[in-house]
Structure 1
Amino acid sequence: MPRVAIEGSLSQVRKMLRDNGYDVVELGNWQQMVDAVVITGQDQNVLSDQSKTKTGAPVINADGMTAQEIFHAVHTRLTMDPHR
């Protein structure tokens, strides 16, 4: 099951991902490996470049996107990843 770290304010997206088989963890509580990270874009420095390099997970900036668009972006990125 793909694991996605997501900011707390994205509750509708969290539900949509869980309903579609994703394991969703709070962005600040993801010591385990994740397959993708979703941020709201309100704080561009929530992840440092070093964090992205360590996880290798795609970071999706949800700023200005609907819940459906965010879900589609996560799903597309994870299903097109040749390393999964």
Structure 2
Amino acid sequence: MARIGVEQSLTDVRQALESRGYQVVTLKQENDAKNCDCCVITGSDKNVMGYHNVVTNGSVIDARGLTAEEICKQVESRLV
């Protein structure tokens, strides 16, 4: 099953993804995203300085305004 990185504060998303059988990794620092097929972030940590360090080749989903169910559907659609 796919490996999904989820920011620490998104516990409802973590639980929903785990219940679907995904391996969920808590994103506490940049390197936690390595080897993740997809990452779910809150968007509150936007890079205002414009620096970009690519750590993962997987999709990144901004969770702002989405329910856990909507996020799970986005994860599933991006892993096809």
Shorter-chain TM-score bucket reads 0.7 to 0.9
Using the TM superposition, give the Cα deviation of residue 44 of structure 1 relative to its aligned residue in structure 2, in angstroms: 1.4
Q: Could you tell me which residue of structure 2 aligns to residue 60 of structure 1?
A: 61
C-alpha RMSD of matched pairs (Å): 1.6
* Number of positions where the alignment pairs a residue of Structure 1 with one of Structure 2: 75
Higher strand proportion: 2
User: d(CA) in 1 for partners of 2:40 and 2:52?
Assistant: 15
TM-score for both structures, normalised by structure 1: 0.79
User: Unmatched 5+ residue regions in structure 2?
Assistant: none
Question: Would you identify which runs of 4 or more consecutive aligned residues in structure 1 move more than 3 Å?
Answer: none
- 1:10-66 deviation line (CA, Å, top 9, x unaligned): 101101101101000011262641100100111112xx6322xx4211110011111
TM-score for both structures, normalised by structure 2: 0.83
Higher helix proportion: 1
